[in-house]
Amino acid sequence: MRSQALLLIPCVVAVVVHFWLWTNRATISSEEDSDEDSAASPCGQDREMELVEVSDPSALAPGEVSSVALDFKVFHPLVITRLGVFPTGPHMEIEGNVTVRLLQLDQQEAVVTAHFSPVSPGTRLNGVWYKPVDWFILPKGFEGTLVWESPDLAGLTTVNTSREKLNNGGGVLKFSSIGEGTLPHRSALGFPGLAGGFTFKIYDMASLWELLHGQEERMQTHGTRLQMEDWSLEQEGLRYGDIVFVDIVDTYRNVPSKLLQFYKWSVGNAAFDLLLKTDDDCYIDVDKVLMKIDQKDLKRRNFWWGNFRQSWAVDRIGKWQELEYASPAYPAFACGSGYVASRDLVQWLASNAEQLKAYQGEDVSMGIWMAAVGPQKYQDAGWLCEKECYQDMLSSPQHSPEELRTLWARKRACGDPCGCPWGHS
């Protein structure tokens, strides 16, 4: 009998491997659902809306910087009609030169631009000076940044956003944090804040109303589906005793926190020397993993065994957007299809679970956390990062349940999950 104890955990619901992690459920199943349903109550059918109205001039203050930026994301198509700046003079006039640019994130060329000066201030409306711009439809999913720049000392004025609320059009816009003292992300074009505004119209209001009118029915249907899934999970857990429930809302962005909570459970409830983490769509050859541990004498302390990605660029846009990790590249991290960590590392993660910051992805978060510890990394290409198949592989990701069953059927039939000489399917 082998002396080491290996704890195998997939990070989410598994189909073939039956020791898995789940979470308490919320009323929405994903952040994508949350984004879509956030457009809850548009403010008007075809009227022009203002991002901000300055009802009290005392909410304005000198900007103290030459560049201010506001990042935003669009959840329903809209049209920007005017760009605006806050007044800088004591009589609510424009005293310096200010340029306002609207850009797509990570793009250098502006979509629209407006220039303001004392001799060409534009039109004042509700405490903001505006100039019209060419109309461009910003599609759903557009991620942009609004930048105010001035070459003049104290040329920008900012607003106290705790006193003047931003108009998100009923949920068609989402803004980044611009609270006082917010640290700019690594590729920001200015300090987070608001030095003006813009006006916009919702595009294709009919489709938005159709979306909103079906929202209640969608939520009811979705809630019923979640209740059925919860019941199924409870029955599965009662039958096999193989599910751990942790108190985390189950969204993609919460997977790192979910992993930490499972690590807390594992060190308190299981005896193991090494812990193997995998995903529910992965093939894992447990026999090969155990044999390799014996052959290479891998039962060690401060030990992390996997297939490591190095110098992986930090994304600023898209599903894997990360704005709070300042470096342009992540520390080395193991592919999520499978890796093995020694108990002392898992214990450290569990002990610090409430303090460790969760970043956008589980795998990159693990790399960032482990960078503080400096474990011995054991590189092994047998933990495949992409959907491939080799006879000597330890893991292979991104498989459907049926594909996993096929891989295991071949493995049992001839020892090769990739195919048998006699064509076993």
Domains in the chain (CATH in brackets) are: 6-24+247-414 (3.90.550), 49-209 (2.60.120)
What pLDDT sits at residue 190?
Answer: 80
Which residues, 6+ apart, have CB-to-CB distance to 151 below 8 Å? 66, 96, 97
pLDDT, one tens digit per residue, over 207-255 is 666 666 766 777 888 889 989 998 999 899 899 988 888 888 888 889 9
Which residues, 6+ apart, have CB-to-CB distance to 105 below 8 Å? 71, 143, 144, 145, 316, 317
What pLDDT sits at residue 263?
Answer: 96
What pLDDT sits at residue 12?
Answer: 35
Is the confidence at residue 1, as pLDDT, over 50? no
Q: Output DSSP code: residue 324.
A: S
What pLDDT sits at residue 6?
Answer: 52
pLDDT, one tens digit per residue, over 337-396 is 999 999 999 999 999 999 999 999 999 999 999 999 999 999 999 999 999 999 999 999
pLDDT, one tens digit per residue, over 297-320 is 998 999 999 999 999 999 887 788
* 396 within 8 A of 283, measured Cβ to Cβ: yes
In the chain, the percentage of residues whose pLDDT exceeds 70 is 84
Token pair for 273: 């020397």
Average pLDDT over residues 53-71: 88
CA 182 → CA 132, 284, 325, 390, distances in Å?
30, 43, 14, 48
Is the confidence at residue 279, as pLDDT, over 80? yes
pLDDT, one tens digit per residue, over 16-56 is 222 333 333 333 233 344 443 344 444 444 689 999 999 88
* 300 within 8 A of 4, measured Cβ to Cβ: no
What pLDDT sits at residue 29?
Answer: 32
> What's the pTM?
0.73
What pLDDT sits at residue 199?
Answer: 95
More confident residue, 273 or 31: 273
- Cα of first residue to Cα of last residue in the chain, in angstroms, is 33
Average pLDDT over residues 331-336: 96
Q: Which of 176-180, 223-227, 400-404 has the highest mean pLDDT?
A: 400-404
What pLDDT sits at residue 170?
Answer: 84
Q: Which of 160-164, 189-193, 345-349 has the highest mean pLDDT?
A: 345-349
What pLDDT sits at residue 126?
Answer: 94
User: What's the mean pLDDT when you consider all of the chain?
Assistant: 85
In the chain, the percentage of residues whose pLDDT exceeds 90 is 58
- Which parts of 372-425 fold into alpha helices (H)? 401-414
Residue 170, number of CB atoms within 10 A of its CB:
19
Token pair for 309: 């990605």
